Amino acid sequence: MKYAIGVDIGGTGTKLGVVDEKGNVLKHHEFKTTDYKDFPTYVDGLVEAITMLTSSTEGECQGVGIGAPNGNYYSGRIEFAPNLPFGDGAPIVDALKEKLGYNIVCLSNDANAAAIGEKIYGGGRNLNHFILITLGTGLGSGIICDGKIVLGEDGNAGELGHVCAVPNGRICGCGKRGCLEAYASATGIKRTFMEMVAKYNGDSIIANTPWDKLDARVVEDAAKQGDKAAIETYNVTGAILGRCLADFVHFSRPSAIFLFGGPVKSGEMILEPTRIAMEKNLMPVFKGKIRVLASELPLGDAAILGASAMVWDAIAK
């Protein structure tokens, strides 16, 4: 059996998985990123974890794929990531190639890895043109054109969370205003709900939930119980997201757009208003041709799957 190792590096934890060609995660392992104080000791820890997995797995390891914040596909380096103790430009691909001896070691940011995961294992298997949008604390994206991830001049393309959704709109964590992720994300849903509480003067079954107890799931539950403010929150979110998806269609004309992440678990509650707004904002030539679908990647393993998918993608090239 052939398999790949997928590694998901986060500020708190590092998750690893042994993944076969069909996207089955055969083994899991994780350790604390915070146990390591710098890049060299972290690499030793990661190599040890990978070796532990490969030495106990029958078959042939094809390589390692890594998803990390600010992971650069071109350079193989993790560029300055505020939540990782690695400094700037940590050369993780070269370090792993040297210590493990594999030819294929790939790095990308989380959202691009997820898009490659969708292409190799998920709903994008037979598609040459699609976009994956991840809705979490923020909004990430990976764009597939002609079967390849769009990386741009220096590997940072696909930052669709920071297109301008509302001119002079909400303050975004990036320092700009009106960014799409300030509206279409778990955080954006929470912010929109607060506006709805104001709009309806507290007429909501969860109006008394304080800011720090509120999240997209609380709003989703209220919406399922028929709460007007919560339902409108999803409609407003979908209206803004869908309008921006239409812009993305005008750019690259994908055949599908996949949505991934916690807020997508609400299913049609977010998908339907998104589709309606997208269709309304498409030029006639595009109408009715682009599907908006929930990602087929399982929420829990998506990061490991996406990372491992880069290995199969590299082999296929």
Residues that bind its own copies (CB under 8 A): 128-129, 143, 145-146, 148, 150-160, 162-164, 166-167, 174-176, 243-244, 246-248, 250-255, 281, 283-286, 289
Nearer residue to its own copies within complex by CB, 203 or 251: 251
Query: What is the C-alpha separation between 181 and 12, in angstroms, rounded?
Result: 23
Query: How near is the Cβ of 28 to its own copies at its closest, in Å?
Result: 32
Question: By C-beta, is 45 or 147 nearer to its own copies?
Answer: 147
Q: Which is nearer to its own copies, 28 or 250 (CB)?
A: 250
Q: What are phi and psi of 256, to 5 degrees?
A: -150, 155
Question: Residue 141 pairs with which residues in a beta bridge?
Answer: 133
Shortest Cβ 285–its own copies spacing (Å): 6
C-beta of 31 vs 286, nearer to its own copies: 286
The packing angle between helices 228-252 and 268-280, to 10°, is 50
3-class DSSP assignment, residue 128: coil
Structure tokens at 263: 């807020």
Please identify which residue in the block is written with the tokens 């030819």.
103
Q: Is 70 left (phi over 0), alpha (psi -120 to 50) or beta?
A: left
What is the distance of C-alpha 23 from the center of its chain?
17
Residue number with CB closer to its own copies (121 or 130): 130
To its own copies, the closest distance from the beta carbon of 253 in angstroms equals 2
Q: Output the smallest distance, CB 80 to its own copies, in A.
A: 10
Least separation in angstroms between residue 70's CB and its own copies is 9
- Tokens coding 21: 């060609």
